[in-house]
Amino acid sequence: MIKSRIRTVPHYPHQGIMFRDITTLLKDPVGLRTTIHEIVARYKCLKIDKVAGIESRGFIVGTPVAYELGVGFVPIRKRGKLPAETVGRDYQLEYGTDRIEMHVDAIQKGERVLLVDDLIATGGTAEAAVKLIEDMGGIVVECCFVIDLPDVGGRARLEKRGHKVFALCEFEGD
């Protein structure tokens, strides 16, 4: 049901890429409600202190999940976007590096954190986010995604490092 509401945009942003666009899922009231409900149902019986969402679609999914779980939300943003003191992690891109950051007071030592984003592809950003949470003393309960692109290897990359990964749907061959 969720997968059928996700639009595929061929050759975006580059030739050969099949972009999985969740805006069609988000605009559909049943699709949005089902997405949030399924994620919350998975985690409602686990001890979670915070939900951390990766910029920007991780904010859209992670905030209502945090609200429904009755916990706080932590934004993980690109360099220079947060107003107070931050801590960050660099990670590799196809051509160069990038950096994600969060506020230094966002996660306390020992807090159990659910990491949320819309999609896992190569896993570079998610891996940097996990390390950032762990740098702050947080414990990553699981990495949760709406979409997994298993052929790209991000899920395997996180699991190889001992992290649990969950996705609501998969698109193979990407």
pTM: 0.96
Q: pLDDT for 69-90, tens place per residue?
A: 999 999 999 999 999 999 999 9
Predicted confidence (pLDDT) at residue 126 exceeds the cutoff of 90: yes
Among candidates 100, 45, 52, which has minimal Cα distance to 77? 100
CA dist., res. 114 & res. 69, Å (int): 11
How high is the pLDDT of residue 174? Answer: 62
Task: Out of 5, 55, 68, 94, pick the active-site residue.
Answer: 94
Is 94 considered catalytic here? yes
Query: How high does pLDDT run on average in the chain?
Result: 96
Q: Residue 166: in which H helix or E strand, if any?
A: strand 165-170
In CATH terms, the fold of domain 37-170 is: Rossmann fold (3.40.50)
Q: Please state the domain extents for the chain.
A: 37-170
**Structure confidence by residue, pLDDT tens digits, 5-63:** 999 999 998 898 899 999 999 999 999 999 999 999 999 999 999 999 999 999 999 99
Please tell me which residue in 5, 20, 57, 89 is annotated as part of the active site.
Answer: 57
